[in-house]
Amino acid sequence: MSKDDVVTNVVVTNTAVTEVDAGLDDEAVVLEPHAFGELIRLLRERGYLTLGPTVQDGAIVYDEIESADELPVGFTDRQEAGEYRVERRSDEALFGYNLGPRSWKQYLFPPRLRIFAAQRRGVDFEIEPPEAEPPLLAFIGIRPCEIAAIEVQDRVLRGGRYVDPWYAQVRESAFLVAVQCAQAAPTCFCTSMETGPRADQGFDLALTELLDDGAHLLLVQAGSARGREILTALHSTPPTPNERDRAEAATRRAESQITRRLDTEDLPALLEANLEHPRWADVAERCLSCANCTMVCPTCFCHTVEEVNDLTGDRTERWRLWDSCFTGEHAYTHGGDMRPSTRARYRQWLTHKLGTWNEQFGSSGCVGCGRCIAWCPVGIDLTEEVAAIRVDRDDLRSSGEGS
């Protein structure tokens, strides 16, 4: 599928490392769509590798973009459990899609990263650090739930006792241009996780795309000093009260379209009390243990380490690679596999993501983006699995059999 066959709705938001300044809403400005190309140019002039949505192989994915022409202009996506497709829109929206299979995790926590190398030097050896410094990245088109996902990974990878140096350095310098959602997919449940559809912090720039009322405009808000510096270099006009109202209405429209729900009340306790629930066996009958859900998840961080030797035996490289709790090797310890069945693996993933993650990191590991639902080949929906366990618990309580 070519780019001409397939689109989007946008808001530019930047997940800056610094706190969002107070009162910046009053400094929102309006840009014409053609000014977005100027924004990309300014970021590249400042040394940023600009990354954003583009159409590739029948999906909207994040990749390097050098101009606004590479955005998925006039395309959208349609998603349901186990379904994803890209279609043409009836307008020229820059960001009129929801979410594709890739997340920003691929740049902050790369799928494959050389940690170090050891080179033999006579009777000694020399340790070589990573081959390159982390790049200066600008994320263009990041959604509110994805900002929340980055904040979750912040707590995991740079907020605790053990800090991932690559992640910390890339994250510290990353410039985030966010998209305030103007539409929602049937797979979205960010409202249940309180992560969207609007971002009020965590960005350098936040943009709302206005396509109604016969005009195509971008309402842009700065969320950091560096975001404001970029914004003042662009030709803009002050927003009218009508344009502000339309921007707020766009977010409310997206919220009204979210119908999927995850009841998070006492969720960790619910899962812990139902580790032997028959629903785990039921889902195991459908689950392929393919690990798609963990690969597309913006917060999963499981990884393994491999040693790679050259043929002479004089050089060894240590690589960090993405892994998944759905693989047999992930739970292997001396003596055997702790989770030898699909039932045990799915239960581990869900109870950690929605339950014990809270104890470890102080928040849920889920942001309600819905990727795991859309990209599961058999359409397994974690919100349905939790609801089934909750209904059985509530039925037992109402009958007097449960505590």
Categorize the per-residue pLDDT at 91 as very low, low, confident or very high, splitting at 50, 70 and 90. very high
Does residue 10 register a pLDDT over 60?
no
pLDDT in tens, 124-146: 999 988 867 889 999 999 999 99
Predicted confidence at residue 403, as pLDDT, reads 46
Does residue 12 register a pLDDT over 50?
no
Predicted confidence at residue 27, as pLDDT, reads 79
By three-state DSSP, how is residue 1 classified? coil
Mean of the per-residue pLDDT values of the chain: 89
- The answer to whether residues 227 and 203 touch, using CB atoms and an 8 Å cutoff, is yes
Please, what's the b/e burial string for 299-337 (b: 16 or more CB within 10 A of its CB; e: otherwise)?
A: bbbbbeeeeeeeeeeeeebebbebbbbbbeebbeeeeee
pLDDT in tens, 322-379: 999 999 888 888 778 788 899 999 999 999 999 999 999 999 999 999 999 999 999 9
Q: Report the range out of 11-20, 117-126, 190-199, 331-340 with the highest average pLDDT.
A: 190-199
What is the average per-residue pLDDT within 299-310? 94
Q: Is the peptide bond before 340 cis (omega within 30 degrees of 0)?
A: no
Query: Where does 1-143 have alpha helices with state H?
Result: 35-45, 105-108
Per the structure block, which two tokens stand in for 382?
A: 């974690």
Predicted confidence at residue 394, as pLDDT, reads 57
Measured in whole angstroms, the distance separating CA 211 from the mean position of its chain's CA atoms is 25
User: What does residue 350 show for φ and ψ, rounded to 5 degrees?
Assistant: -70, -40
Q: How many CA atoms lie within 13 A of 247 on its CB side?
A: 26
| Cα distance between residue 375 and residue 140, in whole Å | 23
Whole-Å CA distances, 344 to 35, 67, 387:
51, 46, 19
The predicted model scores a pTM of 0.88
| Structural domain boundaries in the chain | 3-102+132-256, 267-398
Predicted confidence at residue 213, as pLDDT, reads 74
Does residue 303 register a pLDDT over 80?
yes
Predicted confidence at residue 23, as pLDDT, reads 36
